Amino acid sequence: MSRVDDLADLVKTTNDILLVNEAQNVRTVYIQVDDLCELALKSYLQANVDNWNPTDGVFRNGRPRFKRFWTVVKETRDEFPGNEQLSDLLDGFAARREERNSFFHDQNLSGLTVTSEKCLQALCDLYELLGVLFPDFWDKVEANSILKTQMAVIRLKRRMWQDGSLNHRYQAILQRWRHGEDTEYLSVKGVALLRHPCLGYEFSVIYL
């Protein structure tokens, strides 16, 4: 698989985590998005900058030290001079990295709250970042109906925070979704009938 294929697959998995249980998984997804941002930046630099090295030339205990996130962000900015879209995206990810560092290194913040809105914005920013770094990312999205649908739903969810009427319309669509069974009981053992709203409902609708 190519770098872009790998990144698209990781994005799809991250979307899955959110859609299975949004209320409980937003913090996990928020952290995962931060990791994917750094991986995307390093992947771009390694693929496009001659002789780029992920280490910074400093050795600790005989091992090379990897470049800090901030260094990788600066190196990426340098490759896109004047690109305001990328600059704004990187500013957002830099702020999230600061928040993540607080989450991991300050025990008083172990209960750090990550709202759904904040998590959804991070995911949508990740999509845009990948599109800037790897223009063929959008081709991968178009070719993968599951990924394309996931991203459309997550973008819609982000818009719902600004327009509550969208949420009512979306929930009504989900509630009327045909599931292929008209009874309360299933004759096949091991088959579960999911009804709206319940855990994993959106995830299942997208895949089925």
Query: pLDDT digit string (tens) for 115-138?
Result: 899 999 999 999 999 999 999 999
Q: What is the pTM of this model?
A: 0.86
Residue 125: the pLDDT is 98
pLDDT in tens, 32-89: 999 999 999 999 999 999 999 998 877 888 788 899 999 999 999 999 999 999 999 9
If pLDDT is split at 50, 70 and 90, which confidence band does 201 have? Answer: confident
Q: 3-state SS string over the chain?
A: CCHHHHHHHHHHHHHHHHHHCHHHHHHHHHHHHHHHHHHHHHHHHHHHCCCCCCEEEEEECCEEEECCHHHHHHHHHHHCCCCHHHHHHHHHHHHHHHHHHHHHHCHHHCCCCCCHHHHHHHHHHHHHHHHHHCCCHHHHHHHCHHHHHHHHHHHHHHHHCCCHHHHHHHHHHHHCCCCCCCCCCCCCCCCCCCCCCCCCHHHHHHHC
Percent of the chain whose pLDDT exceeds 90: 58
User: Where in the chain are the domains?
Assistant: 3-162, 164-208
Higher-pLDDT residue of 189, 23: 23
